[in-house]
Amino acid sequence: MFSSTKFNFIIPIISVLLGLAAGAIIMLIFGYNPILGYQALWNGVFDSPFFMSETVNRITPYILTGLAIAFAFRTGLFNIGAEGQVLVGWVAAVWVGTAVDAPAFIHLPLALLAAAAAGALWAFVPGILKAKLGVHEVIVSIMMNYIALHVTNYLIRFVLTDNQETTEPVKQSASLTNDFLIGLTGSRLHLGFIVALLMVLVMWIILERTKLGYELKAVGYNQHASNYAGMKVGRNIVVSMLISGLFAGLAGAMQGLGSFGNAFTNTAFSNLGFDGIAVALLGGNNPFGVVLSASLFGFLKVGSLNMSSAGVPNEIIEIVIALIILFVASGFIIRWALLQLKKGEKK
C-alpha cells in the first residue's frame, strides 16, 4: 500500500507528466509538432549558458514566493497577498539601494532587510485583522495587492523620482549582481539564488526544528485545541503571516537588486506572487519540494520563449502549467487510480 509520503511525492510527478502529455495532444490537435515543440523548449533553456542563467534568475523569485505561500499553507493560512508583498519589497529594496551610502557589507544586507520588513509589514495587516476580528485573510490580502500596486507606483513617481516611470539603478554596493557571473554567462545572473536557498533552509528549520514552528502548525491544524493547550492563537496567526510576507518581500528584492537593478511603475501585477501559489501546490508545501517546482516553472517559462522557433506558440506552455496545477488539485483522482492499480496487482 502506498504511504501518504509516497503519494505526496508521486502525485506531483504524475501531474507534470500528464500536463506535458496533454500539451502534446493539444499541439497535435492544432497541427503543431509536439516533438519539435518540446525540443525547442529544452533548447530554450540548455542551449547556452545565457539561457541557463536566465532560467536561474526566473527560478529565484519563484522559490521565495513559493516559500511564502507554502509557509502560510502549512500553518493553516492562505496568503494570496504575496503579489502585493513582492511589490512593496521590490520598491523598499530599491529605495534603500539608491538612497543610502554605505559599504557593500552593510548596504546589501540593509536593502534585503528593508525588503523583508516591507513584505512582512504588508502581510501584518491581514494577519492582525484575522487574529483580532476574524476577518478572512484571503479577502484582506487580495485588497492589499491592489493597494500595493498603486502605492508603489506613487512612490516611484513622486518620492523615488521626479515624476519618472523608472528609478535610478541601485548603487553597486547594494546590488546582487556579480561581475564574474555576468562575464561568465553574459546574462543578468546574480547572487540572489544563494539568498533563496538559504531561505529554504530557514523555513525548514522553523517548521521542523523549533517550538515556534510546532505551535504555528498546531494552530493551523486546530485553533481550538491549540488554545486549550495554552498556545496564543492570535499571536501565532500574526507571526505566520509576518514570516510569509518576509519571504515574499525578499522575492521583490531579487528583482530590484538583481534581475532589473531598479524599480519601475506597473500597469498590472508581476504575477510572481500568484505563480507562487502554483509553485507551492506542486511542491507539496514542502520547502525542498518548492525548489523543484520553482525550477520546473522557471524551465517552462524561459524555455517557452524559444518554442516559436518550432512554429509553436509559447502560450501552449501556459496551458500546460494550468493543466499541471489542475492535476495536482485533482490529486485524489490520481490517488484513487493508484490504489486501484495496486489492488489489481494483488489479485
pLDDT at 6: 72
CB contact at 8 A, 51 and 194: no
> In this structure, which amino acid lies at residue 39?
Q
Q: What does the buried/exposed string (b/e) look like for 50-83 if buried means 16 or more CB atoms within 10 Å of the residue's CB?
A: ebbbbbbbbbbbbbbbbbbbbbbbbbbbebbbbb
Closest by CA position to 185, among listed 302, 50, 59, 56: 50
pLDDT at 3: 59
CB contact at 8 A, 152 and 266: yes
User: Who's near 143: CB < 8 A, 6+ residues apart?
Assistant: none
Is residue 260 classed exposed, middle or buried when 0-12, 13-18 and 19+ CB atoms within 10 A define those classes?
A: middle
pLDDT at 345: 63
CA distance 53 to 51: 5
For residue 17, is it left (φ>0), alpha (ψ between -120 and 50) or beta?
Answer: alpha
> In this structure, which amino acid lies at residue 148?
A
Low-confidence ranges of the chain (pLDDT < 70): 1-5, 332, 343-347
User: Who's near 82: CB < 8 A, 6+ residues apart?
Assistant: 65, 68, 69, 244, 245, 248, 251, 272, 273, 274, 276, 277
Cell 519571504 appears where? 247
CA distance 291 to 283: 8
pLDDT at 12: 87
Q: What is the DSSP letter of 156?
A: I
pLDDT at 121: 98
pLDDT at 9: 79
CB contact at 8 A, 70 and 208: no
Q: State residue 177 phi and psi, 5-degree precision.
A: -70, 155
CA distance 141 to 80: 6
For residue 281, is it left (φ>0), alpha (ψ between -120 and 50) or beta?
Answer: alpha
For the chain, domain boundaries: 1-47+306-347, 59-290
Which pTM was predicted? 0.94
pLDDT at 333: 73
To the nearest 10°, the Cα dihedral for 81, 87, 92, 95?
-170
Return the biggest CA–CA distance within the chain. Answer: 75
3-class SS shares of the chain: helix, strand, coil, % to 5: 80, 0, 20
